[in-house]
Structure 1
């Protein structure tokens, strides 16, 4: 069995555009300086164009390991399957319609090797829709573990798909399957188990933003779930009344919509020091 320096975790479902997937996988396979595998879950894919493309890519490149789910089991189940199948010490996240900045993998692996106490790390990112990704909005996140814990009281202090994890991180627990907010609870579980976090300031990831998707996610069920999970974080991180009030304001903004949500979102972005 061949071992690699790192594993790229990707999950693809029928909702992705083929040309976005082609660009995403192309940005992965063109990375250099690191010996890596791509564990790619076909999450209940029925579209023939997606299946044909992925199977052809796997046939042409031995680094690609396809895991085929007969039915759509959602992202947390796909990522857990990849964790169980990975043949390396590092797991790097990648969404199926985003882009890797050139040199991303080497920077991530070098950082983790230079910081053996860090269990998981994210990076800065670009947010784009159309046009060159590096002309999009650049997002920065808190860098040190202590800054990350403070920020966690208000919102997630990472761009989740930008992250790299040590394999040992998942000994503390896998992605929870019972929540709409699996990344928050994964980070919280790691924190409770003593994991150390960091963010690299350099933007290494380009996140494709779809305003229509953002609007569809603004529903009371998702908002209330996020609110309850944030209260769990605040309890663990000793965020206090200020953080609880902020979480409640965000819940109101997301559920009421209209001019309230953009106002609260601007306040949230200020918390991230963007």
Structure 2
């Protein structure tokens, strides 16, 4: 296949006018330049589209797609994937910052390690005021780790495009309006693919009080259904199905405790 670029960075955006400019600038400052940035505006009601257009007019590597109606993140990412023409696909969220050298490190890793289909990494957490903890997922994640929670920080990953296409991209069912990343990890490991997490921060990851507010009882049921679906896919022993209830139980916990538990789970998985 002919590739226009080495990497396609795909991003869905909805009402991100306050953060997407800094996000784009962090990508344009990457030491690796052979990429395209594909952004799908999911019917934002603020100035998100205008901000993206401003940068797209300055750099032709930036491609803007606009949904005719709000489709949510999974469908928006799939549209970006359709437009991509690169060997590798990298994820990025509009409220995160790409650390300098991130893309180069991941391209180098995948080029030098054909035995791996995907590479992720760590993140520094930004709570809206300060950059605090360093979150590092397990270096060598496996199908056993996804049983207990997401073994990757979604916006850090870079995956071979043919692998993501083989997985048919992101699931767009009602249960993956939230948690579409973990659904992908279940399907990834069900195909016996291998992945690695670089043991250093690749992004500054935005995680504010508003993000915790989005984790409602309704979304916890989505996570539960995705876990059950994934357990069946991986033939997980029935006694471990109890771990599917973790998001439902955590829904009743204070946000401060949720944050601590989530950080420890990602670190220990």
TM-score (ref. length: structure 1): 0.87
Q: Which residue of 2 aligns with 1:109?
A: 107
- Aligned counterpart for 1:163 among listed residues 157, 168, 174: 157
- Aligned counterpart for 2:57 among listed residues 36, 56, 59: 59
Instruction: Provide closer, same or farther for how the CA distance between residues 140 and 123 of structure 1 changes in structure 2, counting only shifts above 3 A.
Output: same
Q: Which residue of 2 aligns with 1:89?
A: 87
CA distance in 2, matches of 1:191, 1:217: 25
Q: Which residue of 2 aligns with 1:273?
A: 267
Q: CA RMSD in A?
A: 2.3
Q: How does 1:251-262 map to 2 (within 5 A)?
A: 251-254=248-251, 257-258=252-253
CA offset digits 1:199-251 (Å, max 9, x no partner) = 111111111111132123122x2112211221233344454356323333542
CA offset digits 1:75-110 (Å, max 9, x no partner) = 111111111111210111010011011110100100
Instruction: Provide closer, same or farther for how the CA distance between residues 126 and 265 of structure 1 changes in structure 2, counting only shifts above 3 A.
Output: closer
Q: Which residue of 1 aligns with 2:185?
A: 187
Q: How does 1:92-171 map to 2 (within 5 A)?
A: 92-131=90-129, 133=131, 136-144=132-140, 147-169=141-163, 170-171=165-166
Q: Secondary structure at the match of 1:24?
A: helix
- Aligned counterpart for 2:242 among listed residues 245, 250, 255: 245
Q: Which residue of 2 aligns with 1:176?
A: 171
Instruction: Provide closer, same or farther for how the CA distance between residues 154 and 132 of structure 1 changes in structure 2, counting only shifts above 3 A.
Output: same
Q: Secondary structure at the match of 1:195?
A: coil
Shift of 1:258: 4.3
Instruction: Provide closer, same or farther for how the CA distance between residues 245 and 263 of structure 1 changes in structure 2, counting only shifts above 3 A.
Output: farther
CA distance in 1, matches of 2:267, 2:33: 32
Gaps of 5+ in 1: none
Deviates more, 1:98-107 or 1:234-243: 234-243
Q: Is the 8 A contact 1:93 1:164 kept in 2?
A: yes
CA distance in 2, matches of 1:98, 1:129: 11
Q: Which residue of 2 aligns with 1:42?
A: 41
Q: Which residue of 1 aligns with 2:21?
A: 22
CA distance in 2, matches of 1:151, 1:207: 22
1:200 aligns with 2:231: no
CA offset digits 1:37-71 (Å, max 9, x no partner) = 11111211343x33322212111111111112222
Q: Which residue of 1 aligns with 2:69?
A: 71
Q: Secondary structure at the match of 2:241?
A: helix
Deviates more, 1:161-170 or 1:208-217: 208-217
Gaps of 5+ in 2: none
Instruction: Provide closer, same or farther for how the CA distance between residues 267 and 258 of structure 1 changes in structure 2, counting only shifts above 3 A.
Output: closer
Q: Is the 8 A contact 2:125 2:204 kept in 1?
A: yes
Q: Is the 8 A contact 1:153 1:237 kept in 2?
A: no
TM-score (ref. length: structure 2): 0.88
Deviates more, 1:241-250 or 1:80-89: 241-250
CA distance in 2, matches of 1:251, 1:36: 39
Deviates more, 1:65-74 or 1:22-31: 65-74
